[in-house]
Each structure stands twice: as structure tokens, then as C-alpha cells.
Amino acid sequence: MLSPEESTELADILFPKVTESITDIEATFPPRIASFVTRIAPSPTGFLHIGALYMTLINVQLTHQNNGVFFLRIEDTDDKRETETGVSDILSWLARFGVHIDEGAIWENMTEIGNYGPYTQSKRSQYYHIFAKHLVQKWLAYPCFLNESETEEIRNSQSAIGKAPGIYGNYSPWRNESFENITARIASGIPYVLRLHAPGIVGARIHVVDEIRGKLEMDDNFLDIVLLKKNGIPTYHFAHIVDDHLMGTTHVIRAEEWLPSLPLHYQIFKSFGITPPKYAHTAQLMKIDGGNKRKLSKRKDPEANVTYFFEAGYPINAIKNYLCGLLDSGFEEWKLTHMDTPYSDYTFDFARMPKSWALFDLKKLDSVSNIYLSHLSNTDLFEEMSTWAKEYNPEFYAKMNVQKELAFKAISIQRGTDRDPKKFTKLSDVVNYLKPFLKDTFATLKQSRSEIVLPVEASLVKKIIADYASSYSDNQSGDEWLTWMREQAAKFQFARDSAEFKAWGCIGKFWDFAMIIRVAIAGSTQSPDLYEMMQVLGKEEVVKRLGEFGVELI
Ligand code: GLU
């Protein structure tokens, strides 16, 4: 135990350059007017976890519905995890999802906006050191010179007698060292970390409040955790407390993985005599794997990474709708009756958020995405598909773009009618869908169409398509065309319809006849509505495809 004079002297030795107090530094920031201030605090690792996006949406939404302020802080104190483009990646992901940032690092010119910066932790060491110095002065933090093998030895001795592992209480030799020994070590240049002088007792329980889960009883922290690493850089536990305090955060809404640290965070706030902000921990996203639920894993699940969804062609709004449905149990029902209203018009509530885990299910996402796309106008759908293709399948985009008008008509087939088959689940479906329409992609399909087994022999197919080509008119309504098709079928001894097929012996059903034409036109046994397709292609192309098919058949 150091005397108050010794603690003050030690603080000056450890932080000779720090001359300001916490009060001095607090006074340099204007008081917050807003009563709801939140933030996201990503680390620039170049990886955006879908769970981080989920949490971002709820931060943004709750803040804006409470007329609050939402800011972005970059937590870059762990250089092992950082990538060079990490920050710009975060900014571009947020921009893509239309996340509006009120303060912090902003994408235009990567400059900062706001009165509470810098908003990047690596530029804030002076603040951490002011707070750390205060703790040393009060003997609430102390330098610890244990090296790795000494720490290991302590852990081994603890496990031998069944004690909780870690540096705490009597297991922390430097916690109770004399001033002389501590200062002698510092003078000889031995590296040290700064540890919290934790007041907690092993086995003690405390109450914490989580905005989503309510009041919880948890184990109190008893560990003298590291506040500043050997290089003077703060740990997350320490840095986020200094930052959230100075930046005026009122609500920390973060991932569930941090919930076990909440007693520790309360304790650090208490050591400064500061009231902590409100904390809410969003439920962990889980998936069902082999009948069991488990966390979405960065390593095993490609869908843990947000870029997976971009590449796969899920529309941004569908991803948002899906995540909002996971976040708030009332959202999905609301959305179905408010398809044209942005998600941000919905009022989210902590009370409707999942308390333990949320099932992340790609099939459900498909269904949300299908509903979203089926409500888009043809123009918007085409625009979204083109934008997706341009970025993720440029080769296909080039082909689509030279026949833009035709591509637009093709995707518009039957949309908005009772027969709208809700055919699109992802924007990437455009690639397969347009294959039979575009001349460049049809050229590939065409290569194999003569190998498709047809219901009648090739010599008859040739006659059928030659006759079809010479009498086809694209000037007919759908009904007129169908009547004409039936007559064409009858001409070659196919049944006009199923009743006729049962009544007399014909060489095939109407469906078989239509299949011959379909294969010639679409290059495949499956296609969008044949009448509509031929209308979109136009008579010249239809006749050309029929003629070429006749030549290909042996
Ligand atoms: N940098 C932390 C993370 O990415 C932030 C946690 C928090 O929101 O406080 O997990």
C-alpha cells in the first residue's frame, strides 16, 4: 500500500508529460444537448461481420428515432488485427447501407466531423494517459512488472489448488510492493503494464442493467485487468470507457460478447466516480448446423462476412429488412403492410428485441428478399440488377448493356400481374434469367439445344418449325396466339388440349408441341412464358432462331 504522497509521486514518474487533470480535459468538450447519443466502434480489420451490421442498424435507428446523435469511432489499438484499407472499408460499407453518421470519421475525404474528437483511438493517447494517471494517483491502478513466465507460474500455482486463475488480490505481487521497489524497477527500464486495482472479491455478485435483458445478477470482476499495455496503448476495456465518457455516449449498444465484461466496465467507471452510460447487448446471431445451434463463425461461415451478401446479389434493402426482423419481433408484420415505407419509419423498442440469441437463416433471408424484389417497380428492379451486375459480374453486364432495352422488357415479363411468378430472389438471378434472351448468352445455350431429346423425330421437328416460322406473327394478343398455337399443333397431329388428347389418338400433347418451339426459341426445356418471350425477342429474332434450329437438327 502506497501513501497518498507516494502514489502522487509514482503517477508523476509514470506520466511525466501529463499535466492536465480529468476535470481540465472534460471542460474542453461542450456539454451534450442530445439525450440519446450512441456510437459504433469498429476495429478496422477489413472484415464486416453481419452481426456488426445488425448492431449498427439498431444503433442508428434508436438514435434517430430519439432525435439523438450517432457517431463513429475507430478502435485501432490492436495493430495485429488491422488492415491498411480497414477504415475506408468500414466507411464504404456504411455508405452502402445508407447509414448516416452524425459525427466521427466521415467518408468524404475521410475527415472528421464533431466536437468530441479525435474519433480514432490511436490519436487519443493523451486522454488515456490523463485518466490512467488519475487512477495511479488514487492507487486504483498500479504498474505490474510480471513477465510471461512469472504470470504462467502464478496461474499454475492457482490451478494446482483450484483457485480462480489470473492476477488479483494476493496473487498480484506488484499490487502490494513498496514504493522503492516499484520506482527502482522503473528506473532500470523494466517493461510494465498498468493494472486496475480491482476491488472485487472472488465469488461476489453484483447487479447490472441491460436495456434489453433488464436487471441481471452477475459475477463481479475481481481481476486486476490490464489498462495500459507495455507500449502505453490502452486495452479495449479502458479505452472505450474514457472515450464514451468524453464523447458523451448515453447508450452503448454493442454485441452480446461484451456482456460478461459489464461488471468490469461498471467497476472502472466507478473508480473514476463517473456514472456509466446505459448498456444494451444485442443478441448473438446463431445458425443451425447439424441440428445444433452455434455462433456464426468468421472462419467456417462465408455468410458471416457482409461482402458475401453483396456478391451473392442480395439487395441492400432486403438485408436490412431481414436484420430488422431479427432485431424487433414486431418489424416483419409491420413491413408486410408498409412495403413502400423505409425501415427507418418503424419504431424499434428494446422490449421487443431478442434476449438470448437470434436465428440467422438464409432461407428466411431468401424469402424476405423475394418479397422485397417482387414489390419493386420494373424500373427500380432493372436498375438494382444492372448495378449489381456492373460490380459483381462485369462480363455479363457488358452483354446485358448492349441489349439494355430488350433486357428491361425481359425482366418485366408478367411482373405486377396476377401471374407474376415472383421469380426473383436475388439480383444475381438476372444472369440465368436473361440467358435465353441476350444474343451473346443465347449463343452458348444454342450450342446444346439440338441435343435435347424431343417427343418426335428430327425430320418432323424440322417441318414443324419451318411451318411455324413462315406463319408466325408477333401481332397477336396472348389469347389469339394460344388459339393459333393450338391449330398449329393440330396441323401436325398433336392434341389441341388435354381433353382432345384423351379422346383420340394423336402423336403428342399440346405441351409436347409447345416444347419443340420452346427448345428452338429458348435453347432449353424451361423458359419464361413463351408468348411473352417471343414478343420481347421480336419476329425477326424468333424466325432466325427457328431457322437456325432447323439447320442444326440432323
Ligand atoms: N471495438 C469493439 C468491437 O469491435 C467495440 C465494442 C463496443 O461497441 O464497445 O467489438
Q: pLDDT 10s digit of each residue in the chain, 554 long?
A: 899 999 999 999 999 999 999 999 999 999 999 999 999 999 888 888 899 999 999 999 999 999 999 999 999 987 777 777 788 888 888 889 999 899 997 766 678 899 999 999 999 999 999 999 999 999 999 999 999 999 999 999 999 999 999 999 999 999 999 999 999 999 999 999 999 999 988 999 999 999 999 999 999 999 999 999 999 999 999 999 999 999 999 999 999 999 999 999 999 999 999 999 999 999 999 999 988 999 998 889 999 999 999 999 999 999 999 999 999 999 999 999 998 898 889 999 999 999 989 999 999 999 999 999 999 999 999 999 999 999 999 999 999 999 999 999 999 998 877 777 788 999 999 999 999 999 999 999 988 888 899 989 999 999 999 999 999 999 999 999 999 999 999 999 999 888 887 777 789 999 999 999 999 999 999 999 999 999 999 999 999 999 999 898 87
Pocket-testing residue among 237, 252, 258, 282, ligand 1, by greatest number of atoms within 8 A of Cβ: 258
pTM: 0.90
CA angle 188, 192, 198 (to 5 degrees): 135
> Does 118 sit behind a cis peptide bond, omega within 30 degrees of 0 on the bond before it?
yes
What is the residue-wise DSSP string for 488-547? HHHHTTB-SSHHHHHHS--SB-HHHHHHHHHHHHHSSS--S-HHHHHHHH-HHHHHHHHH
d(CA 119, CA 244): 11
Nearest CA owner, ligand 1 atom 4: 42
Per CATH, 4-19+126-282 and 32-123 having the same topology is answered yes
Distance 392 CA to ligand 1 centre (A): 30
Lookup: cell for 249: 455516449
Rounded to 10 degrees, the C-alpha dihedral 41/43/48/51 comes to -50
Distance 210 CA to ligand 1 centre (A): 16
Q: Is 315 in the pocket of ligand 1 (CB under 6 A)?
A: no
For cell 394423336, the residue is: 506
Please tell me the predicted confidence (pLDDT) of residue 30: 96
Helix (H) or strand (E) holding 361: none
Sheet holding 278-282, edge to edge: 214-219, 205-210, 278-282, 251-255
Distance 381 CA to ligand 1 centre (A): 36
Helix (H) or strand (E) holding 373: helix 362-374
User: Phi/psi of residue 520, each to 5°?
Assistant: -65, -40
Alpha helices, H only, 141-299: 148-160, 179-187, 236-246, 262-272
Rounded CA Rg of the chain: 34
Q: What is the CATH number of domain 435-554?
A: 1.10.10.350
d(CA 297, CA 287): 9
d(CA 369, CA 316): 9
Tell which phi-psi region holds residue 214, choosing left (phi > 0), alpha (psi between -120 and 50) or beta.
left
Residue 323: closest CA among 358, 291, 371 = 358
CATH architecture under which domain 4-19+126-282 falls:
3-Layer(aba) Sandwich (3.40)
N- to C-terminal Cα distance for the chain? Answer: 99
Q: What is the CATH number of domain 286-375?
A: 1.10.1160.10
Name 253's bridge partners: 280
In the chain, what are the domain boundaries?
A: 4-19+126-282, 32-123, 286-375, 377-430, 435-554
Please tell me the predicted confidence (pLDDT) of residue 107: 65
Residue 285: closest CA among 255, 330, 329 = 255
3-state secondary structure of 19: coil
Lookup: cell for 312: 451473392
According to DSSP, residue 174 is labeled G
| C-beta separation of 263 from 206 below 8 A | yes
CATH architecture under which domain 32-123 falls:
3-Layer(aba) Sandwich (3.40)
> Does 260 sit behind a cis peptide bond, omega within 30 degrees of 0 on the bond before it?
no
Nearest CA owner, ligand 1 atom 5: 41
Atom of ligand 1 nearest to the CA of 55: 8
d(CA 234, CA 41): 15
Q: Which CB contacts under 8 angstroms, 24+ apart, belong to 393-396?
A: 393/428, 393/431, 396/431, 396/441
What is the bridge-based pairing of β-strands 284-289 and 357-359?
A: parallel
d(CA 542, CA 95): 44
Q: Is 86 in the pocket of ligand 1 (CB under 6 A)?
A: no
- In SS3 terms, 289-326 reads as ECCEEEECCCCCCHHHEHHHHHHHCCCHHHHHHHHHHH
Distance 18 CA to ligand 1 centre (A): 27
d(CA 372, CA 385): 13
Atom of ligand 1 nearest to the CA of 254: 8
Lookup: cell for 88: 475506408
Type of residue numbered 382? F
